[in-house]
A and B are shown apart, each in its own frame.
Chain A
Amino acid sequence: MLRYTWKRILTGIFSLFVLVTVTFFLVRIIPGSPFQRGGVSEEVVETIEQEYGLNEPVMAQYFSYLGNVVRGDLGISYQDPATQVSDIIARAWPVTASIGIAALAVSVILGTGLGILKAVSKRRWVREVISAGGMLAAGIPGFAAAILLLLVFSVKLKWLPASGLLSPVHYILPVTALALYPSAMIARLVGNTLEGELQKDYVLFARAKGLGKGQIILTHALKNAYLPALNYIGPASASLLTGSFVIESIFTIPGLGREFVSSITNRDYTLILGLTIFMGAVVIVVNLFTDLLCAWLNPQTRRAYR
C-alpha cells in the first residue's frame, strides 16, 4: 500500500506540473494584455508590462514562474496589485468549501438513505417515486435548478434569502442546488448495487443464520454495495470543493468559482494560474484519497499491499 501511495503522489505531482505548463501557455495565447483597458495609452500598457516582466521571452517567464511556484509563491494579482493570489484563495476557498462540504454531506446522507429505500422497499410506488425523482434531479442542469429554486422559494414565497452567505438560512438554497445531482447519482448507484447484493448467497445465508433484515443490510450488504458509490463520491466531492461558477454567480457567493470567472475576463494571468494550480491540487488529492480508501475497503487489495 505504501509503494502504491508514493507512486500515486508522484504521478499527482507530475499531473500538476503538466497542468501548470498547459495553462501557462494557454493563458498567454488569449489575445490582448491584462492591462489593456479603455482610455489607457499603448505606452502606459507597455511600461506596466515591462514592470511585470511580460516583455521578456515567454520561456523565460515560464521558468521564473515555475521557480516561484516551487517556492510556494503564486505572485500578486495583476488586477489588484495590493493582494497576493494566495490571499485571494485563502479568502474565497473557505466560502466555497463550506457550501461544498454541506452539499456533500447532504448528498451522501440523502443519497444513501434513498438508495437503501429504493432497494428494499416492498411498496412499489416508493421505488418508482425514488427512481423518477432521481432521474429528474439528475436531468435538470444545475443553473436551471438554481434559478428555479431562487424563483420559487425566495422571489415568490419569500421564505429564503436570495443571495449572500450571512446566516445558516442563506446556505439552504445554494446547498440544495449543489446537492441535487450528486444525491440522485448516489441514490441510483447505492440502490442498484444494493439490489444486486441482496440477491447474493451470503445474504440468504445470513437470513438462514437468523439475522434480522436491518442487520443484514447495514452490516453485510451495504459494505459490499458502497464501492461504486464511493468511486463516484470522490470525484464529485472534488468538484464540489472547487466551487461551481454557475451556482456561485447566481446566488452571488464570493467563492472560488466567481473569482475564477472574473480572473479570466480580466486576463489576470497570475490569478488564473494560481486558481488552476489550487483547484488541480484539490482534485488530485481528493482522487488519491478516494482511490486509497477504495483499495483499503476491499480486504483483498488491503492484504495484498500490506
Chain B
Amino acid sequence: MSVLDVRNLSVQYLTENGASEIIKDISFKVEKGEIAGLVGESGSGKSTAMLAVMGLLGNRAVIRSDQITVSGEKPVPGKNAAMIFQDSLSCLNPSVKIGRQIRETVQERLKCSRKEAEVRAEELLDMAGIRNPALRMRQYPFELSGGMRQRVVLAIALACEPELIIADEPTTALDTLVQAQILLLFKRIVRETGTSMLLVSHDMGVTAAMCGRVYVMHKGRIVESGAAEDIFYSPMEEYTKRLLNDARGGSLPGYGHESTENTTCGPVDGNGKTPVFRMEHVTKIFDEREGIRDLSLEIQKGEIFALVGESGSGKTTAARILTGILKEDGGTLYYRGAALNRDRRMDAFAGRVQMVFQDPYASLNPCLTVRESLEEALRAAGTRAVLSPETAEHAGHPESRPAHRNREKGRMEEKIDRMLRLTGLSPKDADRYPGDFSGGQRQRIGIARALIVEPEILVCDEALSSLDATTREQILELIFRIQRKIGFACLFISHDIYVVRRISDRIGVMYGGHIVETGETKKICSDPWHPYTKQLIEAVPEPDPLRAAKIKASPVKDGTGINQSGCPFAGRCGYALECCAGEVPENYLFNGREVSCFLYSDRHSGRRSSDYKMTSQI
C-alpha cells in the first residue's frame, strides 16, 4: 500500500463571481521510504493541492476527491502527516523560543511530560544537524540563520513522527550552498527514519537531485508523471520540455553558448582601457559585523559584471557604496579614471548610476502611476537626461517658457513610451498603478525607471530572486537583451551562481567581504580555481538525475563563519594550509584572472617562469 494515495482530487474556490477550479482532478502516490517530486511553476496549484491533502485549506475552498489516505487512513496534521513550508522565518512564531515551538509539538504528539518532551526536542534538533541544540532551544527564530531555521522546521516536522512529510519549496529561500546541505539532510532523514517525502518545487535541478518519481503540474493538472529518468531524459509533454529547456539555460546566449565570444560590447581587456567604474581597497565596517573589507573591483564599459556569494558576503554593501547610498570607510572610488570625492559623490555621479531592487512590490510607490514614477526619475536626474544634447543647447536661448515646457513634456512622454516598449510593456500601461501588475511586470517597470535616465551603470541587486522560475527567465532575458542593445555597464548581484553564469561577462566571487576570485564567467564556471567558487558551482543542482547522483562533494570542513584574521574562507576550506588561518592571501593575477588563495602563491606552487600557465590547483 502506498503511503500517500490521492485519487481524483479537485479543489474549487468560492468567490463572489462563482466558483473557480484551482486543482483539476489530480491523482498521485508516494511509496514508503521514497522521495517523490511535484514540479511546476508558481501558480500551478502545487501548494493548494498540498494544503488540500493536509486538510489545511480555508473554508472558501471546496475539496472533492475519491480518496486521500496516508497508509490507508485519513491524513491528520501532526500525526501521520507533517508539512514543511518555504519560508522558515515566517512559519516560526517570531516571539516564541525555538525550544518551546518544538516541545509543544512533541507534547501534542506523544502526550508526555514537559521534561520528556524537552529531551526529545534536543534529540530532534541534533538529528536535524544542529550543533549545540540546548543553546538553540533558548533562542528566538530571528537569532538563527536561514539554513538553521529550516533545520528547526524539519525537526518540528519530525517531532510529529509522521509517515509522510510534505515539503513545499523547502530550499527556495536559501543560498545554493545551504540548499545543498539541506537537501542532503532530507535524504539522510528519509533513509534513517523510513519516512516518505513529497518534495514540491519549481526547481528542476532540485527535483532531479532528490526524487525518484516525478509529477509535473501545470495549471492545476498533472500533465506528466513517471520515473525521474523518463521525465528528465525523454519528456513527452511540451510543458515538461519547456520547463527542462528553461532549467538548462533557456534561450540566453550565456554560459555554454558560443555567441558571447565576439560580441562588440563584450568585456574588454583591462589593459589600456579605463574602466567606467573602479573600486580600490574599499572597506566598510558596520557596528558589529563586517560589511566589506579590502574590496577592489572594476566594471568595464558595456559589460555585465556579476558579484556572487552567499548572504552576508557583502555584495549588497558593495552595491550601495557604488550607488552612494552608503559611504565607504576607506579606499578610493574611480569614475572614468578620476577619483571620486567621498563627500560629494552625488555631484559627479547623479543619474549615472541606477538601481533595480530586489522586491518589485516594495520598490514602487503604490500611489504613483507608472508614468509618474518614471517622470519622477527623470526629474530627479536633472535636465541632462530629459533633454538630448541638441535641445540642451537651445534651452539656454530666450525661448518662451510655456513652449519650452511643452516641448519638454512631449519629450518626456515620448521617452516613457519608448522605455515601456523596450521593457516589454505597452505605452498604455503608463497610466496604471503598480497594484495592477504582476511581480514580473513590476520588475519591468523597475527596470524602465532605472534605464529611462540613460545610466552608465545599472546595478541589479538580487533583481530576480523574488520572482518565480519562469518569470525569472523572462526578466533575465530582458536585462540581457537590453544591455546588449544599449551597452550600459551592469553590476549584477545575485546569490544564485546559476543565474549569474548565464548573464554575466565576468564574475567576482565574494566571501566574507572579500572578492576571492575574479575572471571571465565562462572560465570560472567551467574551471573554478578558488575552493569556495568550486563549492558554489558544485552546489547548483543540475536538472540531470544521473549526474546529480554521481557528483561528489569537494572536501568541505564544517567550519563556522568567517575567519577574521587570515583568509576569510579558511574555516570552511577543505584545502586550507597552515598559513591560511593567520595571513590574508594577496590577489594572484593570471592573465585576466585573479584569485585570492595561497594555493596559487609562489610559495605554494614555486617560482614560475613568465610563460607559465596556471591551472586549477584543486
Asked if A pairs with B, the answer is yes
Question: B90: which A residues are within 8 A, CB to CB?
Answer: 200-202
**Is A297 part of the contact surface with B, judged by Cβ < 8 Å?**
yes
A207 at the interface (CB under 8 A from B): yes
Assess the B91–A204 pair: CB atoms within 8 A: yes
B109 CB–A CB distance under 8 Å: yes
The 0/1 profile, CB within 8 Å of B marked 1, for residues 185-217 of chain A is 000000000000000111011111111100100
How many residues on the A side are at the interface (Cβ–Cβ under 8 A)? 22
Q: Mark B86-105, 1 if CB is under 8 A from A, else 0.
A: 01001111111000000011
Q: Is B378 close to A, CB under 8 A? A: no
- A224, B108: Cβ atoms under 8 Å? no
Q: List 30 A-B contacts (CB under 8 A).
A: A201-B90, A201-B91, A202-B90, A202-B92, A204-B51, A204-B56, A204-B91, A206-B93, A207-B56, A208-B77, A208-B83, A208-B85, A209-B105, A209-B156, A209-B157, A209-B159, A210-B78, A211-B78, A211-B108, A212-B108, A219-B104, A223-B95, A224-B93, A224-B94, A298-B95, A299-B140, A300-B94, A300-B140, A300-B142, A303-B143
**CB 8 Å contact bits of B140-172 with A (1 = contact, 0 = none):** 101100000000010011011000000000000
The answer to whether B78 touches A223 (Cβ under 8 A) is no
Report if A170 contacts B (CB, 8 A). Answer: no
Answer whether residue B76 sits at the interface, using C-beta atoms and an 8 A cutoff. Answer: yes
Q: How far is the CA of A288 from the CA of B39 in the complex (A)?
A: 53
Q: How far is the CB of B345 from chain A (nearest CB, A)?
A: 31
| Residue B82 at the chain A interface, CB threshold 8 Å | yes
B67-88: which have CB < 8 Å to A?
A: 76-79, 82-83, 85, 87
| Chain B proximity mask over A208-248: 1 for CB below 8 Å, otherwise 0 | 11111001000110011000000000000000000000000
Of A200, A205, A210, A299, the contact of B79 (CB 8 Å cutoff): A210
- Distance in angstroms from B434 CB to nearest chain A CB is 22
**Residue on A with the closest CB to B78?**
A210
Q: A220-B93, A223-B96 are in contact. Are A209 and B85 (CB under 8 A)?
A: no
Q: How far is the CB of A222 from chain B (nearest CB, A)?
A: 10
A210 B91 Cβ-Cβ under 8 A = no
Is the C-beta of B524 less than 8 angstroms from some C-beta in chain A? no
**Bound-state Cα–Cα, A206 to B157, Å:** 10
CB distance from B306 to the nearest CB of A (A): 32
- Nearest chain A CB to B268 CB, angstrom units: 48
Which residues of B lie under 8 Å from residue A300 when comparing CB positions? 94, 140, 142
Closest chain A CB from B157 CB (angstroms): 7
| Distance between A223 CB and nearest chain B CB, rounded to angstroms | 5
| A215 CB contacts on chain B under 8 angstroms | 104, 108
CB <8 Å contact, A201 and B87: yes
Known: A210-B105, A210-B108. 11 other contacts (CB 8 A): A202-B91, A202-B92, A204-B56, A205-B85, A208-B77, A208-B78, A208-B83, A210-B76, A210-B78, A211-B104, A300-B140
A210 touches B95 (CB 8 A): no
Contact A205 B95 (CB under 8 A): no
A215 CA / B101 CA spacing, docked (Å)? 12
Residues of A within 8 Å of B54, CB to CB, are 208
Distance (whole angstroms) from the CB of A246 to the closest CB of chain B: 39
Contact B77 A299 (CB under 8 A): no
CB-defined contacts of A211 to chain B, threshold 8 Å: 78, 104-105, 108
Contact of A209 among B77, B87, B143 (CB under 8 A): B77
> What residues of chain A lie closer than 8 Å to B83, measured between beta carbons?
205, 208
The answer to whether A210 and B93 have CB atoms under 8 Å apart is: no
**Contact: A210 with B77, CB < 8 Å?**
yes
- Expressed in whole angstroms, the minimum distance between the Cβ of B79 and any Cβ of chain A is 6
- Whether B140 lies near A209 (C-beta < 8 A) is no
Give A145 Cβ to nearest chain B Cβ, in Å.
36
Chain A residues near B157: list those with CB within 8 A: 209
- Report the bound CA distance from A206 to B90 in whole Å: 11
Q: Is the CB of A205 within 8 A of B92?
A: yes
Q: Tell me the minimal C-beta distance from B336 to chain A in angstroms.
A: 43
CB within 8 Å of B: which A256-306 residues: 297-300, 303
Q: Which of A206, A207, A209, A299 contacts B95 (CB 8 A)?
A: A299
Task: For the complex formed, measure the closest distance between the CB of A305 and the CB atoms of chain B, giving whole angstroms.
Answer: 14
B104 to chain A, nearest CB (A): 7
* Complex alpha-carbon distance, A179 and B160, angstroms: 45
B-side contacts of A207, CB under 8 Å: 56, 77
Q: How far is the CA of A220 from the CA of B142 in the complex (A)?
A: 16
Distance to closest chain B CB from A129 (angstroms):
20
The residue in B76, B93, B142, B157 that gathers the most chain A C-beta atoms within 10 A of its C-beta is: B93
Shortest Cβ distance from residue A293 to the other chain B in the assembled complex, whole angstroms: 14
| Closest residue on chain A to residue B109 by CB atoms | A210
CB B70 to nearest CB in A, in angstroms, measures: 13
Given contacts A210-B76, A211-B78, contact A205 B91 (CB under 8 A): yes
Inter-chain contact A204/B85, CB cutoff 8 Å: yes
Nearest CB on A from B155, distance (A): 11
Contacts of A220 in B (CB 8 A): 93, 96
Chain B residues positioned under 8 Å from A299 (CB to CB): 94-95, 140, 142
Q: Which residues from chain A contact B92 at a C-beta distance below 8 Å?
A: 202, 205
Please name all residues of chain A whose beta carbon is closer than 8 Å to the beta carbon of B105 when the two chains form the complex.
Answer: 209-211
For chain B residues 42-58, which have a beta carbon within 8 Å of chain A? 51, 54, 56
Chain B residue with the shortest CB-CB distance to A227: B95
Q: Give min CB distance, B242 to chain A, whole Å.
A: 30
CB proximity of B108 to chain A, nearest CB, Å: 5
Does the CB pair A297–B95 fall under 8 Å?
A: yes
Q: B93, A209: Cβ atoms under 8 Å?
A: no
